Amino acid sequence: MSNLGEYLKVRRERLRPEDVGLPGGSRRRVPGLRREEVALLAGISVEYYLRLEQGRDRHPSDQVLDSLSRALQLDTDAETYLKKLSTPTKPVRRRAARPEQVSAGVQSLIDSWTTTPALVHGRYMSTLAANPMAIALSPYFAPGINTLRAAFLEPEMREFYEDWDETTAKAVAYLRSIIVPAIDDPQVIDLIGELSLHSDRFRTLWAKQDVRQKTSGTTRLNHPQVGTLTLNYEKLSLPGAPQQMLITYHATPGTPSHEKLQLLASLTTPVG
């Protein structure tokens, strides 16, 4: 089964007949919708849909993809992911990946933010650079650490993220949204394999095939020195640096979290 076929199958099985206006019943042998029901809703033949799900046809037209997205009730991120899976790719000769580096200008910029935690992610959520405030917020934000791996495999991170379940669900959905062009990259395979082997939570989330490219929001963190922080985060793509993402955390002025962040900054500033 192709990546496209697996995605269609999982999304089909997650929908109930009543979700799409079809009768249910107690005699259904499979979870979710039947293949023929998806075909009916999408306006395509059952045989053609079967070929897609079995991987015998991997590049349907945009019209078919639009119909399938509506039939499976995909949101914008999930529809984008579906279309990326369906885009023909030319075989390329893989070269050894060059070590990722953050430009001196970006490093200088984030270092100048003395009260704003900031870090730069490279491929697949590994930290390439971080300012002192980011490391003070969490040692697992330090350069060289994969924040996704840390979230699932480091026990401290269960305490750090107040809503660990929600945070990990978002992280996995985000990973899936960014890996399509390199879904066969050995680094991706190794990361997914390691997390699937050592984390039941990751394995369950990965099987759900959720996709979400959320680049801003709010998170609640438990810091051992300053206590609970409610912080806003932003993820910004860096121009001229493919796959590098600048991530910042900040608190709303006038809130207790803002005061605590200022306190953390004072504890981080060297004396002398």
- CA-based torsion, 177, 183, 185, 187: positive or negative: positive
Strand partners, 7: none
Long-range residue pairs from 66-72, CB within 8 A, at least 24 positions apart, any chain:
67/42, 67/43, 68/8, 68/38, 68/42, 68/44, 70/41, 70/42, 71/20, 71/38, 71/41, 71/42, 72/8, 72/11, 72/12, 72/15, 72/38
Environment class of residue 92 by beta-carbon count within 10 Å: exposed (0-12), middle (13-18) or buried (19+)?
Answer: exposed
**pLDDT by position in tens, the chain (length 272):** 688 999 999 999 999 888 888 877 667 777 789 999 999 999 999 999 999 999 888 889 999 999 999 999 999 999 999 999 988 665 555 555 577 899 999 999 999 999 999 999 998 899 999 999 999 999 999 999 999 999 999 999 999 999 999 999 999 999 998 887 667 778 889 999 999 999 999 999 999 999 998 889 999 999 999 999 999 999 999 988 878 999 999 999 999 999 999 999 998 876 55
Encoding tokens for residue 72?
């499976």
Indicate the SS3 state at residue 129: strand
Q: Quote the pLDDT of residue 37.
A: 92
CA distance 111 to 89: 39
pLDDT of residue 97: 59
Is the distance from CB of 235 to CB of 246 less than 8 angstroms? Answer: yes
Distance CA 85, CA 55 (A): 12
- Alpha-carbon distance of 239 to 176, in angstroms, equals 22
Q: Are 38 and 72 in contact (CB under 8 A)?
A: yes
- In the chain, residues under CATH classification 1.10.260.40 are 3-86
Q: Which two tokens stand for residue 269?
A: 């500033």
Determine the topology of domain 3-86 in CATH. 434 Repressor (Amino-terminal Domain) (1.10.260)
Note the pLDDT of residue 90.
58
pTM of the full predicted structure? 0.87
Widest Cα–Cα separation across the chain: 75
Which residues of the chain does CATH 3.30.450.180 include? 104-268
Residue with tokens 């579906």: 82
Picking from 219, 205, 233, the residue whose alpha carbon sits closest to that of residue 162 is 219
Classified by CATH at the fold level, domain 104-268 comes out as: Beta-Lactamase (3.30.450)
